[in-house]
Structure 1
């Protein structure tokens, strides 16, 4: 019914009319909308067959609707209808130009009028219940997105694997991922990497309306060669028919889906193919082979699929060969440029090699271009995996808008991790791929107000998001050299291994990227100096975070702990753990073994605090969410440091593990008269470390 302001009023049980046969994607979206109505109005909508009895009609656009004639367009229209009374009623029609248009229309209705935000599930949004909804009877047409193909690479299966018991992950895991992507206006996805082929991830993504695409290490989505042909040499030069058989099977399996076909040729395990095929020892040979393979894949798809959309990932060595003029690509493939994993559009670091070659099309590059971009990354060095992207919103704006200006705006594949910890960055990219530009301050205010209910503290919450990047540890000279959580763990475990293997008389080459080609003692000191600064920064940010948390209501406080404090606590615990590890080494090399043991114990306790933070965040529906933290792997670091302190205790306290107690802790009155049969019960590592720490009058 209409109110006096010509607004459509919806209350109680809303009646919805749909076409009899809806595509599966629209059916999924309708179930989302039905759930949203029930959550907000407290009553489940009723589907009716008579459009005259419905307040809301969902259908494909007809000529009289004048819906924009382009892919994914939708509109809201209002029509008077004969209700059988003296005054006609009005119904709202959500009309779509195509399937995805209708899906977006339903989800945008939910956002605008029901208040359901794109990340409602992942942010634990508190959804306001209402007695009625008022909708102005004004036609609306959806704007065209800046980027034609836009979506996520869900490259964080470990958290999603550990979260629920079924493997490969079930719809219970994937549906919230795909729903959030659709609510962000995304239309394509790589649902994981190298998951079992009997999983439902690709099929479900397609059923929900998403284009599926592929990892650059899995061209055409084909099975890995060595998995299909174990024991064979993975050489296209030697056995092209075997590779092509896998490609044919992949094409046949996916030809009825919407697919962005990734053409590529890398070696098994996501590395250059010539590592397994060393005959290709020049850029000319390598480029010629990649060009040949990509052309063959392109022709195979073209013969089986009408009007296919193909792209080539200019990633790693392929980018370098392309820029050198060694690769020839079909004219109509989308060339996809990649950032370095840390958000800068330059070539990625390979071990210690960091050429930082610009990774964007130049004025002479013809055809269509796109981006493969990271807001989360895994590289065994300094990437962020468990925590939010450490760069600022201004940095993301600068890089993406510059890429669009360079013409890389046809495609944007975002490495989104496991969604939950990366919401702010994902929402920034959502606005960029939709509009093409962003006002970061206005966006931040909208983001905070969308997910927090305490209006009195929006400004302070926004300040925490804004200053998060300012607290990040700067480990190098480049603006994007900001430490993610892996920085505190992979280098630390490498350092421990180098130490315990007795190699301290030589530098660890694996650490050159971080602290230079200097002796091992200086490498350790280089980390210690950086970590000392990082500890101060993260401690100050976390203190400010706690001040704000103390002012929030229970729901907002819980949400802010998961979305904000969690991040700082992971950084601070890792930073402190690594710092005390470095201090332990300094004491050890000066043969202050008891002091080194205490420092190593303090290191372990700090890393254990990180584990505690993970466990505390696994509440309610998030139980076991970090069960499979196998990449940053905080638990492994704890075990490594525990091994180290046991090793250190061998120096000076062995073999009876009573000597340090006798030297430092035993009362003087007992030290020279005790009987061994009553005083030889060794203290545990933790108890000894705590009591020694107190004796040495340390700050810990």
Structure 2
């Protein structure tokens, strides 16, 4: 019905009509049915009589004057033949347009946000929905091909028991991407080929694309041909057989075909094929392979969309003029893993060569961008991107201005910890620009319900990046959670292997080519300042949490405090580890033991943070933390403190108790046969810590 303000009122069990629609649209319709039932408390009823329906979902007709571009949709209001109140028609130019129209209706009129599932959004129930009877046309997205690379997906693998992951895992991922207006996906890396990830993504309406280490989505050579040498030069027919199989499997899907040639295990191919020892030889082979892949696709697929990932060494060879690409191929440029559009760091080599198309480089260009990364150095995997939204805005908008705006593939990790950054990129790939303050206020008000505290929540999101630990001279040199774990485990290994008389070259990137003692001290100095900043930020979180109601408090813990607590526990754990080394070098073994124990307890707090976040549907979500691997760090530090205790408290593990803790009245008169139960490591460390006041 209409009210006096020319608004359509929907309430109760809404009557819906849809003609026969593709299966991908049916997925979106099921989402809409669920959303309407959640908000109105009644399940919609599908009717066969179009005239009886209040809500129509259909492809656009000429009378609708729907925008004429791919993925367009509109909302139209048409009166019934009997002159009664008009009904709403969601019309789409094509399949994705119809899907987006359905989901945008849900967002605008039902309040279901793109990340409702991943943030545990509290959806308000209403008795009726009021919809202004105003025509609506969708804007055209800035970026034609836009989507996610679900990389670092180990948390998704460990979350549920079935492997490879089942629809229960993948459907919420693909739904969130569609609600963000995304249209393409790489669903995971090197998952078993009998998994449903690619098939389900395609069924839900998404284009599928490929990792640069798995060109054309083909099976890895050494998995298909174990024991063979992975050399295209020696066995081109075997590579081409895998490519042909991949083309045949996907030729009926919407595919952005990634052309590439890297070695097995995502490294330069010439590492396994050393005959290619010059840039000319390497570029010629890559050009030859890419041309072959391009021709093979063209022989089986009409009007294919092809891309080349200019990643790592391929980017360097292309910029040097050594690679010749087919016309019409989208060239994809990558950031360094930390958000800056420069070449990535390889071990200690960090050339920071600009990674954007040069002026005059014709054809279409796009981006492969990270808001989460895994590099065994300083990247963020479990925690939110440490850079500011202004930094993201600067890099993406500058990339668009340089012409890299046809394609944007975002490394989104496992979704849940990264929703704020993903929403920033959603705004950028949709409109091409972002007002960071306006967006942040909109984001917070969309997911949190207590208006009295929205300003404080905004401030915590805003200051998160200010608390991040700088480890180098560049604006993107900000520590993610892996900084506190991978270098720490390297230090422990180097230490216990008896190599402390020489520096660890694996740490040059962070603290330089100096003595090992100085390397450890370099980390300690940085961590000391980082600890204070994260302690202050987490303290402000806790002050706000005390004011929030249960729903918003749980959400703020998961989406804000979680990140700061992982940074703080990691930063403190690494700091005390460095202090333990300093004491050990001075042969102050009891004190080193205490500091190592304090380190372990701090790292254990990080594990506790993970477990506390696994409530409700999130049970086991972080169980497969195998990349940052906090549990491994805990075990490494525990091993370390046991070794330290061997230095002075062995073999009876009673000597430190006797020297520092036993009452003076007993120390010189006790009988050994009455003192047989050594203190545990934890108990001894706590009591020694009190004794030494550390």
- TM-score, normalized by length of structure 1? 0.99
* Deviation at residue 601 of structure 1 after TM alignment: 0.3
Task: Structure 2: give runs of 5+ residues left out of the alignment.
Answer: none
Q: Which residue of 2 aligns with 1:432?
A: 428
Q: Which residue of 1 aligns with 2:52?
A: 53
Q: Which residue of 2 aligns with 1:42?
A: 41
Provide runs of 4+ in structure 1 moved above 4 Å.
none
Q: Measure, in 1, the Cα distance between the counterparts of 2:416 and 2:206.
A: 20
Contact 1:57 1:94 in 2 (8 A): yes
Q: Measure, in 2, the Cα distance between the counterparts of 1:69 and 1:258.
A: 20
1:120 aligns with 2:116: yes
Matched residue of 2:597: which SS? helix
Q: Which residue of 2 aligns with 1:265?
A: 261
Q: Which residue of 2 aligns with 1:130?
A: 126
Alignment of 1:81-480 (within 5 A): 81-83=80-82, 87-480=83-476
1:579 aligns with 2:578: no
Q: Measure, in 1, the Cα distance between the counterparts of 2:181 and 2:23.
A: 18
Q: Measure, in 2, the Cα distance between the counterparts of 1:364 and 1:31.
A: 47
Contact 1:492 1:578 in 2 (8 A): yes
* Deviation at residue 202 of structure 1 after TM alignment: 0.2
Match of 1:617 among 613, 621, 638: 613
* Deviation at residue 14 of structure 1 after TM alignment: 0.2
Q: Measure, in 1, the Cα distance between the counterparts of 2:460 and 2:531.
A: 17
Matched residue of 2:58: which SS? strand
Q: Measure, in 2, the Cα distance between the counterparts of 1:555 and 1:165.
A: 28
* Deviation at residue 89 of structure 1 after TM alignment: 2.4
Contact 2:335 2:369 in 1 (8 A): yes
Q: Which residue of 1 aligns with 2:13?
A: 13
Contact 2:152 2:374 in 1 (8 A): no
Q: Which residue of 2 aligns with 1:548?
A: 544
Contact 1:159 1:418 in 2 (8 A): yes
Q: Which residue of 2 aligns with 1:557?
A: 553
Aligned residues: 694
* Deviation at residue 550 of structure 1 after TM alignment: 1.0
Q: Which residue of 1 aligns with 2:78?
A: 79
* Deviation at residue 362 of structure 1 after TM alignment: 1.1
Alignment of 1:654-669 (within 5 A): 654-669=650-665
Q: Which residue of 2 aligns with 1:25?
A: 24
Q: Measure, in 2, the Cα distance between the counterparts of 1:91 and 1:82.
A: 11
* Deviation at residue 476 of structure 1 after TM alignment: 0.3
Q: Measure, in 1, the Cα distance between the counterparts of 2:357 and 2:91.
A: 38
* Deviation at residue 156 of structure 1 after TM alignment: 2.3
Q: Measure, in 1, the Cα distance between the counterparts of 2:552 and 2:650.
A: 52
Q: Measure, in 2, the Cα distance between the counterparts of 1:605 and 1:115.
A: 43
Deviation larger for 546-555 or 370-379: 546-555
Cα distance per residue 1:477-525 (max 9 Å; x no partner): 0000000000000000000000000000000000000000000000000
Cα distance per residue 1:159-214 (max 9 Å; x no partner): 00110000000000000000000000000000000000000000000000000000
Q: Measure, in 2, the Cα distance between the counterparts of 1:433 and 1:639.
A: 42
Contact 1:82 1:89 in 2 (8 A): no
* Deviation at residue 680 of structure 1 after TM alignment: 2.6
Contact 2:357 2:402 in 1 (8 A): yes
* Deviation at residue 655 of structure 1 after TM alignment: 0.7
Matched residue of 1:463: which SS? helix
Contact 2:36 2:43 in 1 (8 A): yes
Contact 2:152 2:373 in 1 (8 A): no
* Deviation at residue 24 of structure 1 after TM alignment: 1.1
Match of 2:587 among 586, 591, 595: 591
Matched residue of 1:591: which SS? coil
Q: Measure, in 2, the Cα distance between the counterparts of 1:12 and 1:65.
A: 28
Matched residue of 1:652: which SS? helix
Matched residue of 1:247: which SS? helix
Task: Structure 1: give runs of 5+ residues left out of the alignment.
Answer: none
Contact 1:508 1:520 in 2 (8 A): yes
Contact 1:111 1:118 in 2 (8 A): yes
Q: Measure, in 2, the Cα distance between the counterparts of 1:472 and 1:531.
A: 11
1:510 aligns with 2:514: no
Q: Measure, in 1, the Cα distance between the counterparts of 2:176 and 2:305.
A: 24
Matched residue of 1:470: which SS? helix
Q: Measure, in 2, the Cα distance between the counterparts of 1:585 and 1:421.
A: 33
Matched residue of 1:57: which SS? strand
Q: Measure, in 2, the Cα distance between the counterparts of 1:132 and 1:88.
A: 19
Q: Measure, in 2, the Cα distance between the counterparts of 1:99 and 1:568.
A: 41
Q: Measure, in 1, the Cα distance between the counterparts of 2:580 and 2:209.
A: 48
Cα distance per residue 1:528-564 (max 9 Å; x no partner): 0000000000001001111111111110001000000
Matched residue of 1:650: which SS? helix
Matched residue of 1:413: which SS? strand
Matched residue of 1:475: which SS? coil
Contact 2:142 2:430 in 1 (8 A): yes
Q: Measure, in 1, the Cα distance between the counterparts of 2:536 and 2:573.
A: 17
Q: Which residue of 2 aligns with 1:602?
A: 598
Matched residue of 1:89: which SS? coil
- When the two chains are superposed, the root-mean-square deviation of aligned CA atoms in Å is 0.5
* Deviation at residue 82 of structure 1 after TM alignment: 2.6
Q: Measure, in 2, the Cα distance between the counterparts of 1:594 and 1:539.
A: 27
